[in-house]
Amino acid sequence: MLKVCKFGGTSMADGNVINGVKKIIESDASRKYVVVSAPGKRYSGDSKVTDLLYKCHSELTEKGNCKESFKAVRARFVSIVKELNIPFNIEAVLDETEKLIVSENSEDFIASRGEYLCARIVAEVLGAKFVDAYDVVFFKEDGSLDGAKSYKAISEAVSGANSAVIPGFYGKGTDGRVKTFSRGGSDISGAVVARAVNATVYENWTDVSGFLACDPRIVDSPVKIKCISYKELRELSYMGANVLHSDSIFPVRKANIPIKIKNTFNPADEGTSIVPSSRYVPSGNIVTGVAGKKNFTVIFIEKSHMNAEVGFICKVLTVLMDEGIPVEHIPTGTDTMSLVVDSGYLKKEKLEEIVSKIKTAVSPDTVRVLEDVALIATVGHGMSSSVGTSARLFNAIANANINIKMIDQGSSELNVIVGVNNDDYENCIRAIYYEFFR
Ligand code: ASP
């Protein structure tokens, strides 16, 4: 048994919490490799260290130094070391870091220092080897992770070490400078380390006891998901469930390494297991979860004999590709097709330009645009094997008096996606949840 544990920002918030983390790690000898985030909020209204560091970057850009903003970062780390009561000269490391921040002067470098400093401290607390992510996590020219190179470097760096601590969130770009993942990216780092050492499980320690079947801000106390497949999670996390960075399943999924979401503040809680479909344990519920996202735009295109026109869809999609706009869904009919696009990519002029280019490319009979659409995904492996699930879903939505603007069922029968008005979003989620979970 070999476990890689990633601890999120709230698990690193102060010295007491870090002592709790130490206990968790020491209670299980297979928890050998640890990835950490930068310290998060201690209480509501507090600042995350990474946010303080982004402020340092802004101050540096404006004034040529970041003395004011760095004070808050310094205070956080000094107090953590004090609370831990360890003989670690944090002031010296902070002095050096402050100098490097000014000389490196890059946003990614500055943002990465929260994880760097935190990992230095945790390595000290655990008496573990510190492995700098800069030396072992690599990005490719296009900004994506260089998996093969990283896995090799990580496994070499930790081989022989009894335990190791690696900062999350960053690595080295092809230009030799520090580069970060997107926000929340320490989850990805944890997955990369798990894959590199071929862990039995990747434990992701956070401040909640796993995934809930839907957003608790919309439904009161939704049920917890005990087991979810990578595929189901992709459908749900992509739509907005945000306990785990949605990119973090890719490295482990290829090696069939399960992820376990655990709660640092309630370690005995079973948490949620994310597993390959072959190891999926059905809960008995047809639906695993319901999640969604507001603000999509639907571009509806109609043309007689569209089905017979070779290359029609390709020409339409080329327009969006040339503009660098990703398409979320493409529901089609015999003479119709719709493009569902995240509205964030379509500011007013852009939308007009796209519509006009589509008109030129395929001479459609009609092009209509529908804005303020919310997409809601109902996801579950159980859906493919039970008759009448869609009927129940649509009935529930109809009974809530909600008009469905668009339907898309993935061919895997794993999910049904409906598009409704933004204003109906919360009600629609509630209607679906009550139908399948109450
Ligand atoms: N500290 C980074 C952030 O706040 C990365 C992470 O926490 O995973 O986004």
The predicted-structure confidence for 254-310, as pLDDT tens digits, reads as follows 999 999 999 999 999 999 999 998 888 888 889 999 999 999 999 999 999 998 999
Residue 17: the pLDDT is: 97
State the pLDDT confidence band at 11, using cuts at 50, 70 and 90: very high
Separation CA 438–CA 435 (nearest Å): 6
Task: Output the CA 83–ligand 1 centroid distance in Å.
Answer: 22
For the segment 367-415, what is each residue's pLDDT rounded down to a tens digit? 999 999 999 999 998 887 788 899 999 999 999 999 999 998 876 778 9
Task: Output the CA 372–ligand 1 centroid distance in Å.
Answer: 30
Contacts of 371 (CB under 8 A, 6+ apart): 297, 343
In ligand 1, the atom with minimum distance to the C-alpha of 185 is 8
Task: Output the CA 402–ligand 1 centroid distance in Å.
Answer: 38
DSSP annotation of 222 reads P
Task: Output the CA 427–ligand 1 centroid distance in Å.
Answer: 32
Task: Output the CA 195–ligand 1 centroid distance in Å.
Answer: 20
In ligand 1, the atom with minimum distance to the C-alpha of 115 is 1
Task: Output the CA 239–ligand 1 centroid distance in Å.
Answer: 20
Separation CA 103–CA 95 (nearest Å): 13
Task: Output the CA 425–ligand 1 centroid distance in Å.
Answer: 29
Residues with beta carbon inside 6 Å of ligand 1? 9, 37-38, 48, 50, 114, 168-169, 183-187
Task: Output the CA 305–ligand 1 centroid distance in Å.
Answer: 50
State the pLDDT confidence band at 238, using cuts at 50, 70 and 90: low
In ligand 1, the atom with minimum distance to the C-alpha of 184 is 8
Q: Average pLDDT, stretch 29-53?
A: 97
Compute the radius of gyration of the chain from its Cα atoms: 24
pLDDT at 361 over 70: yes
In ligand 1, the atom with minimum distance to the C-alpha of 186 is 8
pLDDT at 148 over 90: yes
Strands 336-342 and 227-229: unpaired
Task: Output the CA 111–ligand 1 centroid distance in Å.
Answer: 9
**Best substitution site from 12, 73, 77, 186 to test ligand 1's pocket, by max atoms within 8 Å of Cβ?**
186
For ligand 1, atom 5, which residue shows the shortest CA distance? 184
Task: Output the CA 128–ligand 1 centroid distance in Å.
Answer: 22
- Asked if 296 contacts 374 with a C-beta cutoff of 8 angstroms, the reply is yes
Would you give the end-to-end CA distance of the chain in angstroms? 38
Task: Output the CA 170–ligand 1 centroid distance in Å.
Answer: 10
Q: Average pLDDT, stretch 153-164?
A: 95
In ligand 1, the atom with minimum distance to the C-alpha of 8 is 7
Percent helix, strand and coil across the chain, each rounded to 5? Answer: 45, 20, 35
Separation CA 74–CA 53 (nearest Å): 10
Across the beta sheet with 406-409, what order do the strands follow? 336-342, 289-302, 366-379, 415-421, 406-409
For ligand 1, atom 6, which residue shows the shortest CA distance? 184
- Asked if 246 contacts 301 with a C-beta cutoff of 8 angstroms, the reply is no
**Best substitution site from 34, 35, 115, 264 to test ligand 1's pocket, by max atoms within 8 Å of Cβ?**
115
pLDDT at 242 over 80: no
Residue indicated by tokens 């839907």: 214
Q: Taking Cα atoms as reference points, which of 211, 311, 325, 321 lies closest to residue 259?
A: 211
In ligand 1, the atom with minimum distance to the C-alpha of 189 is 8
- For 318-375, the DSSP string reads HHHHHTT----B--B-SSEEEEEEEGGG--HHHHHHHHHHHHHHH--SEEEEEEEEEE
pLDDT at 420 over 70: yes
pLDDT at 36 over 90: yes
115 token code pair: 């994880």
pLDDT at 239 over 70: no
pTM of the model: 0.89
Geometric angle at alpha carbon 413, from 412 and 417, rounded to 5°: 110
Task: Output the CA 184–ligand 1 centroid distance in Å.
Answer: 4
Residue 240: the pLDDT is: 58
In ligand 1, the atom with minimum distance to the C-alpha of 183 is 9
Residue indicated by tokens 């571009």: 299
**Best substitution site from 169, 170, 178, 188 to test ligand 1's pocket, by max atoms within 8 Å of Cβ?**
169
**Best substitution site from 6, 37, 73, 204 to test ligand 1's pocket, by max atoms within 8 Å of Cβ?**
37
Residue 411: the pLDDT is: 67
Q: Average pLDDT, stretch 347-375?
A: 94
77 token code pair: 């780390």
Phi, then psi, of 142 in degrees rounded to 5: -80, 5
State the pLDDT confidence band at 241, using cuts at 50, 70 and 90: low
Q: Average pLDDT, stretch 428-438?
A: 96
Across the beta sheet with 259-263, what order do the strands follow? 129-130, 164-167, 31-36, 3-7, 201-206, 259-263, 272-275, 227-229
Q: How large a percentage of the chain has pLDDT more than 70? A: 98
For the segment 83-129, what is each residue's pLDDT rounded down to a tens digit? 999 999 999 999 999 999 999 999 999 999 999 999 999 999 999 99
